[in-house]
Amino acid sequence: MPSTALTHISTLVTNDPSLGPGPLGPIQDAAVVLEDGHIAWVGTTRRTPATDSHYDAAGRAVIPGFVDSHSHLVFAGDRAEEFTARMSGRPYTAGGIRTTVAATRRAGEEELAGRLAAHVAEMLRQGTTTVETKSGYGLTVEDEARAVRLAAAVTEEVTYLGAHVVPEEYRDDPGGYVDLVTGPMLAACAPHARWIDVFCERGAFDADQARAVLTAGLDRGLGARVHAGQLSAGPGVRLAVELGARSADHCTHLTDADVEALADSGGRTVATLLPGCEFATRSPYPDARRLLAAGVVVALATDCNPGSSYTSSLPFCIALAVREMGMTPDEALWAATAGGAAALGRRDIGRIAPGARADLAVLDAPSPAHLAYRPGVPLVAAVWHRGRRAV
């Protein structure tokens, strides 16, 4: 692959503290060289080495491609009516998941694959170069296996979420469903997945059931992640930390003991905040300041799904996190890039430093603060993904 230099970058966010001040490690009037899908060099424009091709960023900012570490993109149908009813006062419940399960089971493979690809492309246009995505709208062995297989065709970050809710047909036998999830369904899904996840919440799975699900996945060599503290404080966060899950997601309702457990994990368990969900369910936002003050590593992700958060935009989530959750623009940008990478246990993405994957976005803005400062404005002007111009 020919080498490319991007030059005249007003601010290059590297997320490498050895390259510039603070966690974002910014370089001013910067340049970056991409070669064979990786970052080969970073520095100032006037020191740029010779390359095969050249892109003049003309005073715009460049950031690492966003790492969206939590989404649910294998689904059919939408729930606009449920959203509309919520905006007239009806509360969000996990029960809506079953609506999407019914639509997804009915859908053909081509339809699901087409919609999945369209959502991934929509994310890429908004600067997301890595996306984690989950099963969880199939809830039979065949439908879950189909979901993880389709997901694996678009990303290496696939999560098996058979334990999303107990499906209708197991209403009277939740234990039987957990046996299915930890037995034949896991066997069918594990070969296509990197992670296992469980929705630990009243109305979904309790602590014992969640522990059984996560332990079965860990025994199969999957990494653990947990939907925890979305609708109420519960056992999910502490279970995530205890089992060494890479991420506890939502973290909207937290006890002091939860915050302490996350902090004590020393960054091993990241708190992934999903403000699109609070936006679309009209709920109070998680308190990012409380987590950051305690020393917890925080990631931001979209949770893109047709029920609780139908946004694919990390810039939108950054704006919400800054306005509603007490984060600074720098903290929110870090959380949506390096934070997402940490939540996926990855060192090769979420930063622009020699050796990292060449994933980056050029912003139509002189500084990355514009992501929060100009909410709703499509600021992503160009994207390189694995060293190739993708947008």
The residue ranges that bind Fe ion (CB under 5 A) are: 303
Binding mask 196-225 for ligand NIG (x = CB under 6 A): ---x--------------------------
Q: How far is the CA of 40 from the CAs of 23, 43, 133, 352, in angstroms?
A: 21, 11, 29, 10
The CB-of-294 to Fe ion minimum distance in angstroms stands at 23
State how far the Cα of 59 lies from the Cα of 66, in Å rounded to an integer: 21
Which does residue 346 bind out of Fe ion, ligand NIG, none, counting CB within 5 to 8 angstroms by kind? none
Does 119 count as an annotated binding residue?
no
Is residue 210 within 8 Å of residue 236, measured between CB atoms? yes
By CB under 6 A, the residues from 224 to 263 that bind ligand NIG are 227, 230
Q: Is 298 helix (H, G, I), strand (E, B) or coil?
A: strand
| Part in contact with ligand NIG (CB under 6 A); list of ranges 36-44, 303-311, 324-332, 376-384 | 303-311
State how far the Cα of 278 lies from the Cα of 55, in Å rounded to an integer: 39
Helix (H), strand (E), coil (C) string for 300-364: ECCCEECCCECCCCHHHHHHHHHHHCCCCHHHHHHHHCHHHHHHCCCCCCCCCCCCCECCEEEEC
Minimum CB distance to ligand NIG smaller for 100 or for 155 = 100
Does 230 count as an annotated binding residue?
yes
Is residue 190 within 8 Å of residue 217, measured between CB atoms? yes
**Strand pairing of 388-389 and 66-68?**
unpaired
DSSP annotation of 54 reads E
Which does residue 308 bind out of ligand NIG, Fe ion, none, counting CB within 5 to 8 angstroms by kind? ligand NIG
Question: Could you say which of 100, 130, 182, 311 contacts ligand NIG (CB under 6 A)?
Answer: 100
Question: Could you say which of 275, 307, 315, 339 contacts ligand NIG (CB under 6 A)?
Answer: 307
State how far the Cα of 68 lies from the Cα of 344, in Å rounded to an integer: 10
Burial class (CB in 10 A: 0-12, 13-18, 19+), 215: middle
42 membership: H or E segment, kind and range: strand 38-44
Question: Could you say which of 9, 97, 213, 299 contacts ligand NIG (CB under 6 A)?
Answer: 97
| Part in contact with ligand NIG (CB under 6 A); list of ranges 55-63, 105-113, 207-215, 305-313 | 305-313
Is residue 296 within 8 Å of residue 256, measured between CB atoms? no
Residues 6+ apart with CB under 8 A from 221: 190
The CB-of-68 to ligand NIG minimum distance in angstroms stands at 13
Which does residue 199 bind out of ligand NIG, Fe ion, none, counting CB within 5 to 8 angstroms by kind? ligand NIG
By CB under 6 A, the residues from 319 to 338 that bind ligand NIG are none
The CB-of-303 to Fe ion minimum distance in angstroms stands at 5
The CB-of-92 to ligand NIG minimum distance in angstroms stands at 7
Minimum CB distance to ligand NIG smaller for 72 or for 192 = 72
| Residue 285 backbone phi and psi in degrees, to 5 | -75, 155
| Residue 149 backbone phi and psi in degrees, to 5 | -65, -45
Question: In 3D, which of 178, 180, 177 has the Cα closest to residue 168?
Answer: 177
The CB-of-94 to ligand NIG minimum distance in angstroms stands at 6
State how far the Cα of 310 lies from the Cα of 122, in Å rounded to an integer: 12
Does 137 count as an annotated binding residue?
yes
| Part in contact with ligand NIG (CB under 6 A); list of ranges 236-244, 284-292, 306-314, 346-354 | 306-314
Instruction: Tell me: does residue 303 bind ligand NIG (CB under 6 A).
Output: yes
Minimum CB distance to Fe ion smaller for 303 or for 359 = 303
| Part in contact with ligand NIG (CB under 6 A); list of ranges 149-157, 234-242, 302-310, 323-331 | 302-310
Does 8 count as an annotated binding residue?
no
What do you get for the CA distance between the two ends of the chain, in Å? 18
Residue whose CB is nearest to ligand NIG in the complex, by number: 307
* Residue 134, strand partner residues: 159
Does 15 count as an annotated binding residue?
no
* Binding residue positions for 4-imidazolone-5-propanoate: 79, 137, 164, 230, 308
Q: Point out which residues bind ligand NIG (CB under 6 A).
A: 72, 96-97, 100, 199, 227, 230, 277, 303, 305-309
Residue ranges for the known binding site are 70, 72, 79, 137, 164, 227, 230, 303, 305, 307-308
